[in-house]
Amino acid sequence: MLGRQVFGLNISGAEGGKFNSNDYGVYGHDYIYPSTSFMQRTVDRLHPGCIRLPIRWERIQPQVMGPLDPSELQRLHTTVLYFTSRRVRVLVEVHNYGSRRLSPSTASQYISKYDNRRHFFNDLWARLGVAFGLNQFVDFGLMNEPQTIDPSIQPIEQAFEWLNNISQGAINSIRRTGATNYIFVPHYKWQGAHDFFASASDEAFLDLRDPLSKLVLDLHQYLDQWNSGHSGAAVPGKGASVLAPVTSWALRNGVTVAITETGSYNKNDYPGSEAEVVDFYTHVRNNPSVYFGIYYWGYGPWYAERSTSGAKDQNYLGFYTDGSMSPGLALIEPWLS
């Protein structure tokens, strides 16, 4: 566990955009990394303690079992080195939902223990371990929302497949490189704290092994009725209560937890949404022996500046052209550290 909690932001852009018929997207058109000026303003104005940087597997490693793409790796290195040189932790996270394409024109294939696809995943993380293992301000996020697991496996067994076979293999591959970074392991499906126990991920997570004891349970939790951040108002009382079962379980079992996505997008239809965000952050901060920190979604170079401050809109995290912060960003800015 870190000596202190960290609170920060997701910087979206490198994971986004479409794939084309013969490439995995064109840099600067389909996807983007933050510019130096964007990163400088982020650190100077917001002072985050951490950044989550989602990337796409196909872009960083176009050919499975092949080398990391030099241009993409340079972009990733540039971003990581800027933030970590300013003492901001960076969570490098593979944003692939448990699958990847083998070529731009083919359909995504889920990771499976029954063929080489599991070894593809291990190889990716071994290479990322070599690339970033010496930077102790870098943390590794194995996968975003691994919902695409072998459909031939019974649902009750899928959490064990994801955690005890696929994730454990990636953990072992990272450690064999000598990397000592924290490893963030998501639970199966959408990573929601609200359904962590329903998927049996609690049992499966406790079976994971790391010789360095630096595993972090990687959870998402939005505060609206669908737990997605897209269904409007935050549910009254949810901010203070939704994490309580996970907190109690983690305390009993000595597990470290990070909330790597959260948000409350109310568009003014429930003014109490802001209070729910505050209650959520308060719960995490009041349990430092459990929580590594929070990474709020979403912020990034293509969340374009807006010319007027206008009506409140929690969907927008960013700066207006007059330099003021959007309400959503102003809400969480005091918590960033």
Q: Is pLDDT at 300 greater than 70 in this prediction? A: yes
Give the C-alpha separation, 228 to 107, whole Å. 25
pLDDT the model gives residue 305: 62
Give the C-alpha separation, 335 to 73, whole Å. 31
Give the C-alpha separation, 88 to 35, whole Å. 16
Report the percentage of the chain scoring pLDDT > 90.
Answer: 70
Residue with more model confidence, 280 or 306: 280
Q: Strand 99-100 to strand 109-110: parallel, antiparallel, or no bridges (unpaired)?
A: antiparallel
pLDDT the model gives residue 115: 65
Q: Is pLDDT at 320 greater than 90 in this prediction? A: no
Instruction: Give the Cβ contact number of residue 54 at 10 Å.
Output: 24
Contact 202, 249 (CB under 8 A): yes
Omega before 298 within 30 of 0, i.e. cis: yes
pLDDT the model gives residue 100: 92
Structure tokens at 259: 């909330």
pLDDT the model gives residue 21: 87
Q: Which domains does the chain have, with CATH numbers?
A: 6-335 (3.20.20.80)
CA separation, residue 255 to residues 85, 184, 185, 207 (Å): 29, 12, 12, 12
Q: Is pLDDT at 16 greater than 50 in this prediction? A: yes
pLDDT the model gives residue 311: 46
Give the C-alpha separation, 161 to 220, whole Å. 20
Q: Is pLDDT at 265 greater than 80 in this prediction? A: no
pLDDT band at 270 (very low <50, low <70, confident <90, very high): low
pLDDT the model gives residue 148: 66
Compute the average pLDDT of residues 39-64: 97
Q: Which element (helix H / strand E) includes 184? A: strand 183-186
Compute the average pLDDT of residues 142-146: 95
pLDDT the model gives residue 308: 53
* Model pTM above 0.85: yes
Judged by DSSP in three states, 261 sits in strand
